[in-house]
């Protein structure tokens, strides 16, 4: 723009002379190019409702760049927008609606609500739709991420808009515009008294509309309302029913997200009042369409809810059959809280699952469920190739600990000692350290018992260092017992120690050492003596 024109428009934009408006409006009609652009900017910059209305009238013909000029004058155009919205001219109304939505002019909601309620107005329908769109935008501002470039406070705007919508709710019998009720529900939160009154009174004229909106709306405000209701001390049963009936993926995802964290006492209480979920079925929009993460979260949610055990077992059964490995694992864990034959049956199936974690989860609970043949299964599982399963088996056999075995050792006969000892050494990883510790005790009979236990449990190779120490014990009975036990550990180091023991001052020790060396010789003759290999290994 030239300097001359720029000076002219600078004066026209700021002049306090009202004749300027007439000059600019004439120019708007008769000019084009630079002068038109400048005129447009000057009109927008001025506080002239007439000028703004003239611009609004042309909104649909403006280029995108020209429309940007209006963005700068949005605060000054409210009056013109209000007049345009109430104008009978269809084009002006349509332009104003577009601009109101574009500018997020929430101040005009009350005007639009009045227009929407006017059944004689030809713009009532469009005004209603605009109210819904504006309320949707406001809901996103209130519940979504805050845009700090927009300095308006979403909460204040929300209160203002809610006031006019609440008045509209009171006039529902007259206007029957369910969309206005929907708008009200979108913005009203769990703390809104009017909304709570409606939900508690099935005879309220808006009750069905409100329930319908809550059941079908995809608006963030409604979804948040439903979820926040779960945290309410006195959540309405009608709201909980809505939660149980919704099976749309957006809501179900939010619900699963909301309940995947720690479940508070209030939420647990409310969840326990929900007896079913619409998505708790197979087929379209059912849980079988969930991904693995959602399957896991839905198990947690259903477990916390008041869903009957049979329905819960159906869910777990299905996930154990068709679910992903982690989901099957979680499902198997969840079975622990449901006693009974059907649960037992599912656990027995799960123990043969192809995933070791699922097997482990089933193994862990098999004894507590008193499943027939549990012991045999555990004895089988203790030899599982999977560490997780072996670990779970050990957890399932807590009584087969080394401490228990030690305490009852004296009272057991040899056969029982052998079978129990064999189990204990596999179940309790503390067995070998326990025997070694016993060998170091001062009490003679404890050291002697440790040697005997090592022999019976076939742990001599694991504790041979302890036995070698006992070969030098002050007590000849212990030395003899150690020399005897060492026959089960045919290594070069042991052979050397036994040769030394064969020259012991006590003849019973000498005999025991010689006996063990003779056993080594036999093994050597049969080429089963691993002495050389072990010696190499030790070097």
Selected from 17, 65, 284, 528, the binder of other proteins by CB under 8 A is 17
Selected from 27, 54, 161, 454, the binder of other proteins by CB under 8 A is 27
Cα–Cα distance between 15 and 113 in angstroms, integer? 37
| Total binding residues toward other proteins, as defined by CB under 8 A | 23
Tell me the window of 29-37, 112-120, 355-363, 395-403 that interacts with other proteins (CB under 8 A). Answer: 29-37
DSSP state of 526: T
Concatenating the DSSP letter of every residue in 231-266 gives: T-TT--HHHHHHHHH---HHHHHHHHHHHHSPPPHH
Q: How far is the CB of 56 from other proteins (least distance, A)?
A: 21
* Cβ-based nearer residue to other proteins, 41 or 447: 41
Concatenating the DSSP letter of every residue in 353-380 gives: -SSHHHHHHHHHHHTTTT-TTHHHHHHH
15 is a site residue for other proteins (CB under 8 A):
yes
Distances (CA, A) of 75 to 42, 78, 95, 106, 464: 15, 6, 17, 12, 91
* Cβ-based nearer residue to other proteins, 15 or 349: 15
* Cβ-based nearer residue to other proteins, 30 or 159: 30
Q: How far is the CB of 66 from other proteins (least distance, A)?
A: 17
* Cβ-based nearer residue to other proteins, 42 or 492: 42
* Cβ-based nearer residue to other proteins, 39 or 495: 39
Selected from 13, 23, 311, 336, the binder of other proteins by CB under 8 A is 23
CA 382 to chain CA centroid, Å, is 33
Cα–Cα distance between 103 and 89 in angstroms, integer? 21
Q: How far is the CB of 11 from other proteins (least distance, A)?
A: 5
* Cβ-based nearer residue to other proteins, 20 or 95: 20
Selected from 29, 30, 257, 444, the binder of other proteins by CB under 8 A is 30
Question: What is the four-CA torsion angle of 62, 64, 69, 75, rounded to 10 degrees?
Answer: 90
* Cβ-based nearer residue to other proteins, 8 or 295: 8
Cα–Cα distance between 429 and 233 in angstroms, integer? 50
Q: How far is the CB of 63 from other proteins (least distance, A)?
A: 20
Selected from 10, 150, 153, 465, the binder of other proteins by CB under 8 A is 10
Tell me the window of 16-24, 227-235, 401-409, 521-529 that interacts with other proteins (CB under 8 A). Answer: 16-24
Environment class of residue 397 by beta-carbon count within 10 Å: exposed (0-12), middle (13-18) or buried (19+)? buried
Check if the beta carbon of residue 192 is closer than 8 Å to that of residue 176.
no
Spatial neighbors of 322 by CB under 8 A, at least 6 apart, are: 288
35 is a site residue for other proteins (CB under 8 A):
yes
Q: How far is the CB of 147 from other proteins (least distance, A)?
A: 37
* Cβ-based nearer residue to other proteins, 20 or 491: 20
Across 268-294, b (16+ Cβ under 10 Å) vs e yields: eebbeebebbbbbbeeeebbbebeeeb
User: What residues between 39 and 58 interact with other proteins by CB under 8 A?
Assistant: 39
DSSP state of 73: T
Q: How far is the CB of 69 from other proteins (least distance, A)?
A: 17
Cα–Cα distance between 502 and 508 in angstroms, integer? 10
Check if the beta carbon of residue 215 is closer than 8 Å to that of residue 221.
no
13 is a site residue for other proteins (CB under 8 A):
no
- Interface mask toward other proteins for 175-204; x: CB under 8 A: ------------------------------
| Rg over CA atoms, the chain | 42
350 is a site residue for other proteins (CB under 8 A):
no
Residues near other proteins (CB under 8 A) are: 2, 4-5, 7-8, 10-12, 15-20, 22-24, 26-27, 30-31, 35, 39
């Amino acid at each position: 723009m030239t300097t001359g024109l720029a000076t002219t428009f600078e004066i026209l934009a700021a002049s306090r002379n009202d004749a300027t408006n007439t000059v600019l409006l004439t120019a708007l009609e008769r000019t084009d190019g630079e002068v038109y652009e400048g005129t447009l900017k000057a009109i927008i910059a001025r506080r002239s409702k007439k000028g703004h209305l003239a611009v609004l009238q042309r909104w649909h013909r403006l280029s995108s760049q020209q429309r940007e000029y209006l963005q700068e004058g949005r605060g000054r155009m409210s009056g013109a927008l209000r007049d345009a919205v109430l104008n009978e001219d269809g084009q002006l109304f349509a332009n104003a609606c577009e601009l109101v939505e574009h500018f997020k002019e929430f101040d005009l909601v009350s005007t639009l609500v009045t227009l929407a309620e006017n059944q004689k107005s030809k713009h009532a329908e469009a005004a209603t739709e605009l109210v819904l769109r504006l309320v949707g935008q406001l809901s996103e501002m209130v519940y979504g991420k805050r845009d700090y470039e927009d300095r308006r406070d979403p909460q204040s705007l929300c209160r203002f808009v809610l006031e006019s919508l609440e008045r509209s709710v009171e006039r529902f019998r007259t206007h029957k515009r369910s969309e206005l009720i929907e708008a009200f529900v979108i913005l009203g939160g769990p703390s809104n008294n009017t909304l709570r009154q409606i939900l508690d009174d099935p005879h309220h004229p808006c009750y069905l509309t409100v329930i319908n909106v809550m059941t079908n709306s995809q608006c963030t405000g409604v979804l948040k309302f439903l979820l926040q209701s779960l945290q309410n001390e006195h959540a309405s049963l009608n709201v909980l029913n809505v939660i149980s009936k919704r099976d749309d993926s957006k809501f179900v995802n939010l619900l699963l997200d909301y309940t995947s964290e720690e479940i508070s006492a209030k939420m647990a209480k409310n969840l326990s009042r929900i007896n079913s979920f619409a998505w708790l079925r197979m087929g379209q929009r059912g849980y079988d369409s969930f991904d693995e993460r959602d399957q896991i979260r839905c198990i947690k949610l259903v477990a916390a809810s008041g869903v009957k055990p049979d329905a819960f077992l159906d869910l777990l059964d299905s996930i154990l059959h068709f679910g992903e490995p982690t989901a099957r694992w979680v499902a198997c864990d969840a079975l622990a809280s449901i006693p009974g034959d059907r649960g037992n049956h599912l656990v027995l199936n799960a123990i043969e699952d192809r995933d070791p974690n699922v097997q482990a989860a089933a193994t862990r609970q098999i004894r507590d469920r008193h499943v027939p043949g549990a012991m045999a299964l555990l004895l089988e599982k203790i030899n599982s190739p999977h560490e997780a399963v072996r670990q779970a088996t050990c957890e399932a056999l807590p009584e087969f600990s080394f401490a228990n075995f030690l305490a009852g050792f004296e009272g057991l006969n040899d056969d029982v000692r052998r079978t129990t000892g064999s189990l204990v050494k596999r179940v309790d990883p503390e067995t070998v350290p326990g025997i070694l510790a016993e060998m170091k005790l001062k009490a003679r009979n404890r050291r002697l018992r440790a040697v005997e236990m090592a022999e019976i449990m076939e742990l001599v190779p694991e504790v041979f260092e302890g036995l070698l120490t006992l070969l030098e014990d002050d007590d000849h009975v212990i030395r003899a017992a150690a020399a005897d036990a060492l026959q089960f550990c045919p290594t070069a180091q042991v052979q050397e120690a036994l040769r030394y023991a064969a020259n012991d001052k006590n003849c019973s020790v000498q005999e025991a050492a010689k006996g063990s060396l003779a056993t080594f010789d036999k093994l050597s003759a049969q080429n089963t003596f691993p002495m050389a290999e072990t010696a190499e290994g030790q070097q």
